[in-house]
Structures are given as C-alpha cells and as structure tokens.
Amino acid sequence: MRYAHHGRPQPRTLGQPTRRDSAVPFAERINRLGTETAFAVSLAAAAWGAQGHRIYPFHLGDIDLPTPANIVAAMDKSIADGKTGYCPGAGITPLREALASDIGGRRGLALTPDNITIHPGGKPVITKFVQALIEFGDEVLYPNPGYPIYESQIEFIGGKPLAYRYLPTATGFEIDLDQIRSLITPATKAIVYNNLQNPISAESTQAEMEAIAQIAIEHDLWVLADEAYFEMRYSGTSSSIASLPGMAERTVILYTFSKKFAMTGWRLGAAVAPTELSSVFSKLNTNNESCTTHFVQWAGVEAVLGDQTGVTAIRETLRGRRDAAYDMLVSMPGVRLSKPNATFYLFPDVTEAMAAKGIDSLPEFADRALKETGVSFCTRLHFGRPQPGEDRKYVRFAYSGLPESDIREGLGILKQWIEA
C-alpha cells in the first residue's frame, strides 16, 4: 500500500487495483470452480421480465408451493423455545434418530444416528464427499448430462471428473454401462450415481442398479448415491443402491428436505454414511458451518415424524403439473418425450422442432423461445459438455414452479411458435 507524505495510507476505492493486486490474485483452484447454470438462465429470464414481458419460468427446479403448515409451526415453536444457539456439528440427536429410522425403513437398511450427519442442504454433501475421499488427481465418475455441481466440486477440490453418458431408449434413458467400464483406471476412486436423475428423470431398472453396484465392488469404488428425488415419485416404490449386498459400507446417501417437503430455501439435508465417514463429515461441518441452523433442524423433526397430509398434497399437485406439461409437450410437432414417473423435470428431444424453425444451436433456440414466447427453460448444455457422438438436441422443463394453468398457457404459446 502506498503512503502519502504525511505517513497516512491513501484512501482507495473498492475495486480499484493496486500494484500488488492488479491481476486479482485469487487461488488457482478458483479457475476450476463451476456453478449451477440454471441460475444464469433465471437471471436472463428475470431481465427479460423486467422489461415488461410475461415469463413462464420452466428453468429452475424450485417449488412455488408453501412448506406444510405443521413444519412452519414447529420452526416457530423452536424459535420461541430458544433453539437459536449452536448445536452439535453432526446435528441434533432427535433429527438424526428420526432420519435413521425413516431413511433406513424405506431402504431396508439398519441405521443408527451415528450413520447420519445433518447439513445445510443436500448440496454440501457432494462437497464433503469429495473433500473426505478424493486426493488430488483421483478420478471420479459422474453422470453427464447431470447436476453440474458434481463436476464443479470434483475439479475444484483437485479430482479428475470422468463423465459417463445415458443412452436414449423407447421408454427414457439408460446408463451406458460399457462406457463406464471403459473409463475406469487404477486412479478411479468413486462414482456419483443419481437414480431418479436431474435433469433427465432417468430411473434405473433393478438390473442396471445391480450392474453399477457390481462395478463399484469389483473396482473398490466409493459411491455417492444422490437420492434427492427418492420420494418425489408418482407411483411405485424407489430402491437404493445402498441396500444391495456389499454396498452399505461403500455408499454415501445424499438426502434432502428440499423436494419432498417444499423446503428448498430452508437449506436442510443429510448424509447417510458408514460411521467412520460420518465422523469425518461431522468434523467438516464444524470447520465449515459450525452447525446447520438449530431451529430449522427442529422443523425437520416435524417434517419426518409429523402429519404427512401436506406432503401428500404437494406430490399430488406436482403430479397434475407433470401430466399437464407432458400432454402439452408431446402435442408439439418435432418433440419426442417419454413420461417419467419421478422428479419434477421433463427432458424432451427437440431436434426436429429446432430444424423446422431453422435453428441450429440450443442457445439460440432457448433465447428465441424466451424472447418470442416468454417461455424460459434450460438446455442440455446447462448440464455438462456434450459427449462424443451425441447428435440429438434436448431441453429441460421444470414444472415445479408454475401452477397448472400457467403450464398449459405458456406451453400453448410455445406450441404455436413451433408450429408457425
């Protein structure tokens, strides 16, 4: 810092470079840090809306439905009862007990509170999984298209992300198991497995899940089982890879309150892991956040153990929205789509629709749709770089943030635009 002749430091405007920081000397790893690109689409839609245009926001997997009233009341009571200070880094015991029983019961796992750590959302579980298990240069398999934070955190912490793909089928998508086998080397340490997947809503068959488990066992891989949408399904029952023989001891389950309970902004999640790894997660929590918000955890206890009427209503509302969005999309010329049974995303193939509009690129397709119809959505490019040989074009619609009437209205306008 320069000094004036009176010996006092000269004032400097925030952001004005000095000789020392003219290149903004951030740590090199910042260059490896990605982001959740759906938020960038949200900003573009908001900017267009600020100009007075009507927006139909299909871009972000948020939920516009209220958190059930009994959960809100439990939070209010916990604040009134003074649950506003620090609590254990691993989480409060009543919530860990409730989750051990609920998660274990739904998956056929014998869990104790020592297997559970509480986190401010599901996303930190991804980071802490990589921090705890991946050394610099270790390889981690992850799905592409997939949640972009997987790749971002693997690279940021110094691992080497290896993308594996999904192949389109008559009923949706399946994992390219041969590709996974071909990617594994002695440096491969882990695989991220997101059944009931964002963005494509793919659900594994039992055979596919068993194949992933066999690969993990054969190559001694850790598995991050992202089960954020485990209970966000409209029929049938989900199953967990951790329930398969030989898998509980090598699997971390990512659990979140965001989807099932409409608590996206509350930031409450959990990791289910072998006890030794749970202890490491607890230590990381203490270093990173001290603890997850105390009174929010008490609301989580009510969410798991309390009345589920509100949860059922959320799921049924989303079912109606899925059906409305699906019906509208499949009625559009040049759009191909299978009806998923879970999540709140649709991932249609729009290759022919784009060709009919004379549009070659997904960014142009999304931008023109926004500007000419008000419909905002993500494209396949927001969920990873295209894989070699990938020649179809996809977009993602999240139907969780719009009422059914807006879904039909907005997609009706999009249909007219595609047909024009």
| pLDDT tens digits, 342-376 | 999 999 999 999 999 999 999 999 999 999 999 99
* CA–CA separation, 189 and 207 (whole Å): 23
Q: State the pLDDT confidence band at 23, using cuts at 50, 70 and 90.
A: low
* CA–CA separation, 18 and 141 (whole Å): 42
The DSSP result for 166-219, as a single string, is: EEEETTEEEE-HHHHHHH--TTEEEEEE-SS-TTT-----HHHHHHHHHHHHHT
pLDDT at 244 over 50: yes
Q: State the pLDDT confidence band at 39, using cuts at 50, 70 and 90.
A: confident
Q: Where are the domains of the chain?
A: 32-66+310-419, 86-305
Residue 345 CB-density burial (10 A; 0-12 exposed, 13-18 middle, 19+ buried): buried
pLDDT at 34 over 90: no
- Residue 14: what pLDDT? 43
Give the β-pairing of 375-376 and 56-57. parallel
| pLDDT tens digits, 288-301 | 999 999 999 999 99
| pLDDT tens digits, 158-180 | 999 999 999 999 889 999 999 99
pLDDT at 92 over 80: yes
Query: Among residues of the chain, what percentage have pLDDT more than 70?
Result: 94
**For residues 226-231, average pLDDT:** 97
pLDDT at 256 over 80: yes
**For residues 332-337, average pLDDT:** 97
Q: State the pLDDT confidence band at 40, using cuts at 50, 70 and 90.
A: confident
Query: Among residues of the chain, what percentage have pLDDT more than 90?
Result: 89
Closest CA to 313 of 321, 305, 302: 321
pLDDT at 420 over 80: yes
- Residue 107: what pLDDT? 97
C-alpha torsion angle, residues 94, 96, 101, 105 (rounded to 10): 150
| pLDDT tens digits, 134-158 | 999 999 999 999 999 999 999 999 9
Note the CATH number of domain 32-66+310-419. Answer: 3.90.1150.10
Closest CA to 281 of 131, 98, 134: 131
- Residue 4: what pLDDT? 39
Query: Which one has a higher pLDDT value, 31 or 271?
Result: 271
| pLDDT tens digits, 114-128 | 999 999 999 999 999
- Residue 15: what pLDDT? 45
Q: State the pLDDT confidence band at 388, using cuts at 50, 70 and 90.
A: confident
- Residue 25: what pLDDT? 82
pTM above 0.85, yes or no: yes
Q: State the pLDDT confidence band at 20, using cuts at 50, 70 and 90.
A: very low
Q: State the pLDDT confidence band at 222, using cuts at 50, 70 and 90.
A: very high
What is the pLDDT of the chain when averaged over all its residues? 93
Amino acid occupying residue 176: D
Query: Which one has a higher pLDDT value, 18 or 57?
Result: 57
Query: Which one has a higher pLDDT value, 40 or 93?
Result: 93
First to last CA, the chain: 62
pLDDT at 11 over 70: no
Note the CATH number of domain 86-305. Answer: 3.40.640.10
